[in-house]
Structures are given as C-alpha cells and as structure tokens.
Amino acid sequence: MRLANVTCKKVEEYLTRSQTVVIPVGSIENHGKHMPLGTDTLIPDKIVELLEEKSGVMIAPTIPYGATNTIMGCTGTITLGTDGLVMILTKVTDSLFRYGFRKFVILNGHGGNNKAIETVGMQLHRRGAWLANLNWWLMAGELNPEWKGGHGGAEETAGVMGVDPALIDYDYINEPMDLIDDVAPNMKTTGWGTVDYKGATVVFPREMHNYSGNGWYGKDEPHLATVEWGQEMLRTFADYMADFLTELEKLDLPKAEI
C-alpha cells in the first residue's frame, strides 16, 4: 500500500490494524562508469515493488538523496550530508509519528546513510517507537554469501540488472578496479578511504575520486553479474523483508523515555 496513492481515510483505517511504515532511502552517486547514478535508489524501489505483492504494509515515498560526501567530485553525485538527511528523516518520521505510526522500517540503499538513520532511530526509540534499518546489500550477502559485494561491483550491478538491464553501460562493465596510491608511494590504497602502512590499516578521509580511477570498488568484478542473479536476489530479499515485517508486527513498543 503506497502512502502517496491512498486517501487520509485509508491511512486512518490502516492505523487501526498496524503501526508499521516502510521508508526507502537511497542516494544519487557514482557507482562506476557502467552503473547509473541512481543505483542506490532504483534497487530499493524495485524491492518495495516486489514487497507489495507479498505484504499490505504501508510504504512511504522514497527519499532519493542521501549522505554521499565521500563521493562528491564524481560528476552527478548529490549529497544532503549526514545533517541534511537527519533533518529530512526527522521531519518525515515526526509527521508519521503524530498520526500513530510507531514501527519505522528504513530500506536503505547506501552505506553513507547509516549514521543519519541510526541517529533518527535513537530519537524514535526514546519516544517509544522502533526503527529498523535494513541495509539491503549487506543483508543480501548474508542471506547468500555468493552475493556479497562491494561498491558498484557485481552484486550491485546484478541488482540494477534485476531492475532493468538496459540501465547498464556494457561498454565499461569489463573495466578492472583501479585503485590509485594517492597518499604516498609507501601507503597503498586498500579500500574505502583506507591505506596500508606496514601491515596496518590507516584511514585518510577523502573523496573517492582521488583514489578510484573508475568509481567501483570490491572483489566482485562487475562483468560477473547476470540478470538472473539480480532477479533472484531482489525476490529473495523482498521475501525476507515480508517475513521480517510479520515478526515486527508482534513486537511490543519500547518504553518512552521522553
């Protein structure tokens, strides 16, 4: 059930039997030359589309922008910053809380959003509500370790293929990961903002374009992705989510502290 597609009376009726609402949150950011900027929004949108076939849960409109400061500098990336996303999530959840929603499920498409989501979740918990944060790409890799992947790698590429394979730019799908040792010759770039120095990991916060030549990172090479993988993964996650929502309905609310 889409919040945007029903009347206020339908929402009132829904609240007589459930206090749960799903809020998809994504981002607009670089995922490599082969992937659309909206990857982190397109995939959650597809998951909730599949979820509608399995659950009557209320689904709020997707928040398409996220906290993507580390990816700024890659053309087309847009960031709200953590503070901006906290503000938007707080306003949205405050509005829904007023009418009686007490169980908030964030379907998150971007890791940079987590700090903001957790901040809002703590605020809601103190008010006597639950917020559950479902990071689809991490949880999918737990449901099936073969799906586990990095940023713009085969996992996310398969996810986009499961939405629409035409969104992939196949001219670039075979490009190898291109990490640049941008800090110092004796400090090898090893991952997301990290370098190795004498066997230990050091974090140097900086924008991704400084150390990634093509914008994707991970051990899962994008060319390994298939449409079948993506479709199975998204269906499996939607099934898991429907099951989780059933269990969430059974939970007692936490005691309000404020």
Query: pLDDT at position 108, please?
Result: 98
pLDDT exceeds 90 at position 224: yes
Compute the CA torsion angle 97, 102, 108, 112 (nearest 10 deg): 60
Question: Residue 246 is encoded by which pair of tokens?
Answer: 């059933």
Give pLDDT tens digits for 11-34. 999 999 999 999 999 999 999 999
Give CA–CA dist 233/8, Å, rounded.
34
**198-218 pLDDT tens trace:** 999 999 999 999 999 989 999
What pLDDT does residue 79 have? 97
Token pair 């974090």 is found at 203
Give 83's contacts (C-beta < 8 A, 6+ positions apart): 116
Model confidence at 64, pLDDT cuts 50, 70, 90, reads very high
pLDDT in tens, 152-192: 999 999 999 999 999 999 999 999 999 999 999 999 999 88
- How far is it, in rounded angstroms, from Cα 62 to Cα 60? 6
- Determine the pLDDT at residue 243: 98
| 3-class DSSP state of 21 | strand
Q: What is the mean pLDDT of the chain?
A: 96
CB-based contacts of 199-205 (< 8 A; 24+ apart in sequence): 205/70
For the segment 70-129, what is each residue's pLDDT rounded down to a tens digit?
Answer: 998 889 999 999 999 999 999 999 999 999 999 999 999 999 999 999 999 999 999 999
CA nearest 35: which of 195, 220, 192?
220
Distance of CA 130 to the CA centre of its chain: 19
Judging by beta carbons within 10 Å of its beta carbon (0-12, 13-18, 19+), is residue 240 exposed, middle or buried?
A: middle
Q: How many CB atoms lie within 10 A of CB 64?
A: 18
Res 43 pLDDT > 80: yes
How many other β-carbons are positioned within 10 Å of the β-carbon of residue 50? 19
Q: Pairing state of beta strands 130-135 and 103-108?
A: parallel
Euclidean distance between CA atoms 220 and 155, whole angstroms: 7
pLDDT reported for residue 192: 87
CA-based nearest residue to 132, from 144, 145, 122: 122
Is the confidence at residue 39, as pLDDT, over 80?
A: yes
pLDDT band, very low/low/confident/very high, at 9 (cuts 50, 70, 90): very high
Q: Report the DSSP beta bridge partners of residue 184.
A: 187
For residue 73, the model assigns a pLDDT of 84
| Arithmetic mean of pLDDT, 237-257 | 97
Q: Buried b vs exposed e over 176-204: b needs ≥16 C-beta within 10 Å?
A: ebebeeebeeebebbebbbbeeeeeeeee
